[in-house]
Structure 1
Amino acid sequence: MGWLMLLAPLMAAAACTRPLRVPFEDWRPYSFVDADGHHTGLETELLAAVAKEVGCEVSYVREVPRNRRLPMLTRGELDLLVAATVVPSAVAWYTRPYREEAYGAFVRADAPIPKARSMDELLGAGLRLLTHRGPASLAIVGEFEARGLLTRFEDYAKGVQLLQLGRGDVLFGDSMAIAYAARAADLPLVELAIPMLHDSVSYKLSRKTLTEADLQAFDQAIQRLEARGELQRIRARWLPAAVR
């Protein structure tokens, strides 16, 4: 596996005995390598700030498939996962939330705009849904799949391409990732006026390699950075005000 090293260790509440192992994912605009070869993105900058405040280095582990990450965290082969939704777990600690995640449903700007006011109405209209491969963020996604009206993709650039090719009617998923991919493809989209819940995300820490004291150090670091406005400044550089 390739490694990308990030940050310089500082004295803080918790002293890391080695760099924190975190899986790298090309997940624009959250985490990616830019044209100059620098690892950047919203998640990268947020974790850099938090890790620095805690007093840790971060090592990004390349080529870790999505379905291997939790087993590797459980075995102690990874130390931290970003953007985790809190669910009861005996193998991981969850930090306090550090940002909000917003979902949306989008159609091509040159296509007829559905009059649906909910995902249920999109389903009832027989529209085909395109969404990211991974845990379903809404139960209704499973209903689309049960009716043969769902196509999944691995990355948002592919999702935008599928919409552009007419392989689906509605692109559903992370609003910022969709907007970023659509701009890169020069494909104008319209977001449907369908209420979507915003979700808070946290860091997921391995209980195999980290302790409750480490969890507290992360929580305190996030709290201090929020109080100083540093995390807000990072979010403001990457996200529109509605999803900061």
Structure 2
Amino acid sequence: MAAPACERPLRMAVEQRPPYLYMNAEGQMQGSDIELVRAILQQAGCSLELLPELPRRRRYTMFLAGEIDILPAASMTAERREVAWFTAPYFVEAVALFALPEKAAKLRDIKNFEDIRSRGIGVISQSFGWFGEGFEAHKPALRNDGLLSHYDQLGHALQMLKAGRGDLVLADRAAMRQLLLRQKLNLVELDYLPMQGSARLMLSKRSVTEAQFKAIDAALQKLEESGALKQIRSRHGLQ
């Protein structure tokens, strides 16, 4: 183990998002993010403190104030780099489109969101989050055409799909696969992936020093090279 890098546990707020974070039958939080982050911090000589679940906006405000140290599964942007350190990627995040089996045959040939809009196909997407440049570019037009509906929780998206509120659900691929497996449901995943990219740990510059960040990033890369992180990801169906 590396020399201790942290004088106190680093704080991370949780959010129900299987398989990344979820509460088990015993009322304890678990998931790939907890296992991966704990392994990385332990390798760096740090420990993890889980904070209670908080609204997304409140969580980010606390992060900016240095009251939360880590936000997992983050995408790196120029704006965020002003306030946060970003580690190397620790898993590949993908966004996919899902359809009911009886409608999938007519939707399998979709290649982009221009196809979706021109054919008048309704899309059900989460009310927050980043789902790729293609979706962001076409979101205003889809909304203006009445082809866009929103969900807050993934379970609601399935209800909306069955009720005919849209033809496709846009969702995190691993999260949707986990939900379908747990509920023993069957949806068809389209070949077109609106987004596939690197997810990183975002560390607050207000509460995490550059030296601590470098130790954590080095620990992550060491565990990646050894295959330890791959083993954790595989158990949760992640790349």
Scaled by the length of structure 2, the TM-score of the pair is 0.90
Which of these residues, 42, 53, 62, is aligned with residue 52 of structure 2?
A: 62
Match of 1:117, SS state, is coil
Superposed, 1:42-191 pairs within 5 Å as: 42-88=32-78, 89-113=81-105, 114=107, 115-138=109-132, 139=136, 140-191=138-189
Does the CA-based 8 Å contact 1:13-1:55 persist in structure 2? yes
Q: How much does 1:126 deviate?
A: 1.1
Does the CA-based 8 Å contact 1:108-1:187 persist in structure 2? no
Q: Which runs of 5 or more residues in structure 1 are unaligned?
A: 1-10
Match of 1:168, SS state, is coil
| Percent identity (aligned) | 32
Alpha-carbon separation, structure 1, partners of 2:104 and 2:198: 33
Amino acid at match of 1:155: Q
Amino acid at match of 2:192: I
Q: Deviations over 1:64-108 (max 9, x none)?
A: 101122221111111110000001231111111111001111101
Q: Does 1:194 align with 2:186?
A: no
Match of 1:53, SS state, is helix
Superposed, 1:206-217 pairs within 5 Å as: 206-217=204-215
State how many pairs are aligned. 231
Q: How much does 1:109 deviate?
A: 1.0
Q: How much does 1:193 deviate?
A: 2.1
Partner of 2:224: 226
Amino acid at match of 1:121: D
Match of 2:150, SS state, is strand
Does the CA-based 8 Å contact 2:95-2:193 persist in structure 1? no
Q: Deviations over 1:104-130 (max 9, x none)?
A: 111011225324222220111111111
Alpha-carbon separation, structure 1, partners of 2:227 and 2:174: 22
Amino acid at match of 2:34: T
Q: How much does 1:48 deviate?
A: 1.3
Alpha-carbon separation, structure 2, partners of 1:95 and 1:62: 24
Match of 2:159, SS state, is helix
Alpha-carbon separation, structure 1, partners of 2:161 and 2:11: 35
Alpha-carbon separation, structure 2, partners of 1:149 and 1:38: 39
Q: How much does 1:23 deviate?
A: 0.9
Q: Deviations over 1:172-193 (max 9, x none)?
A: 1211111122233333111112
Scaled by the length of structure 1, the TM-score of the pair is 0.88
Partner of 1:3: none
Q: RMSD of the alignment, in Å?
A: 1.7
Q: How much does 1:219 deviate?
A: 1.0
Amino acid at match of 2:215: A
Match of 2:15, SS state, is coil
